Amino acid sequence: MTPPGILNDILSRVTEVGRSLSFASDDRSEAKSANLRDLCETLLSRQGEATGLALGRELLDRYATLDEAGKRSFFHDLNTGFGVDREVLEHALAEWQAHETDASARALHFASEPRSQELVRRLNRAPGGILDLVGMRSDLLRAVRADPELMPLDRDFQHLFGSWFNRGFLELRRIDWSTPAEILEKIIHYEAVHEINGWDDLRMRVAAPDRRLYAFFHPALTNEPLIFVEVALTDGIPSAIGRILSEQRDELDPSTATTAVFYSISNCQTGLRGVSFGNFLIKQVVEDLRSEFDSIRTFVTLSPVPGLRRWVEADIAKGEDGLLPAPMREAAAAGKGHDGTPSTIDHLAEIAALYLVEAKSHQGLPVDPVARFHLGNGARLEQVNLGADLSE
């Protein structure tokens, strides 16, 4: 039988250890991130397929419990602790310098790959892994804005996603009223240009005979649209969006349509930003519409100009060193037109055209992101429509 004094001493020690254990298992961000780092090392060291799948799933599930600080800490661990294996790289470099063969060049290429890329590949094998990785990159993009040092890790994700989501894997689907409700609800949620105000509004966009909606899907994300485009079949090039979205509009017999108007394109997955879909989507839809309707010969976008005000204000501040000629600069600075409203600013159409075509970034590309996208895909600026969107 243990004497009372010794028993009390043991209990006291157990209590202290318990406190210590409780402190060590506290869900602090850094502690959770460290545990994940160990899991990543284990995942990279395992060769068994079944074990790797289970471990990858566990790692992704644990990652999902992290707060923002924990995720940033985890990303820093990946960025600094799972880079290039320098010993392997140095050996491959020495082989290349000694022999300069195609084989040694390929070996050098693979040796220069950071370990983080292989880690992401193994996570992708876990059940449901690809959707979780898209969500993880969405978190990473937020972290990069606060800490640009994480940019190399983001390039790893973008490199891999560019392969996994290339056009060869994508499936084009037309979305109509028979599409499963789960997907239709996501279309309502993801619409980024012209808000869809409930089911009646959606029905008008996907079920009307002179309207079309097409989306790209990935075989691993069956019910998750990646990007979608909305199309109106019309008898001419419209000058305003109101006519297209109006509930009171007269429906057009699609067999008489002469023009396909791409009036909204929405990327659905933030984590796939920078992976090119829109170019392929629009061109694929053009081909599908051409094969369905002989009468359609004109394909046009009706696009917003999101950066105009910001650019004009910056150009005005430059004075004579800016791009705007004096009459345009003075009219824009006044902020109102001949009838007192901003939408009738004198020279506004010329200002917009100058901005869309002549305003360039440091890389020599159009400053406006919408213009950069469409002009880069081979379109031309056809017309500038004043007062084209008078909605709130």
The overall pTM is greater than 0.85? no
Residue 278's nearest CA partner among 295, 302, 262 is 262
234 phi and psi angles, rounded to 5 deg: -130, 175
Q: What is the largest CA-CA distance in the chain?
A: 102
Between 127 and 10, name the one with better pLDDT. 127
Q: Is residue 69's pLDDT more than 70?
A: yes
DSSP, residue by residue, 38-79: HHHHHHHH---HHHHHHHHHHHHHHHHT--HHHHHHHHHHHH
Token duo for residue 219:
């075989």
Answer whether 237's CB lies under 8 Å from 259's CB: yes
The answer on pLDDT for 177 being more than 90 is yes
Q: Is 46 exposed, middle or buried (0-12, 13-18, 19+ CB in 10 A)?
A: middle
Query: What pLDDT digit, counting tens, does each position of 17-65 carry?
Result: 333 333 333 445 566 666 899 999 999 987 667 788 999 999 999 999 9
pLDDT of residue 138: 97
pLDDT at 164 over 90: yes
What one-letter code names the amino acid at 87?
E
- Residue-wise pLDDT for 286-333, tens only, equals 999 999 999 999 999 999 998 899 999 999 999 999 999 999 999 888
* Residue 362 annotated in active site: no
Q: How far is CA 187 from each of CA 165, 225, 282, 358, rounded to the nearest angstrom?
A: 20, 8, 17, 35
Q: Active-site residue among 29, 303, 347, 362?
A: 303
Q: Say which residue the tokens 């284990």 belong to.
A: 42
> What is the structure's pLDDT at 14?
35
Q: What is the pLDDT of residue 51?
A: 85
Tell me what pLDDT residue 127 has. Answer: 93
Instruction: Name the pLDDT band for 5 (thresholds 50, 70, 90).
Output: low
- Residue 162 reports pLDDT greater than 60: yes
pLDDT at 110: 87
239 classed as catalytic: no
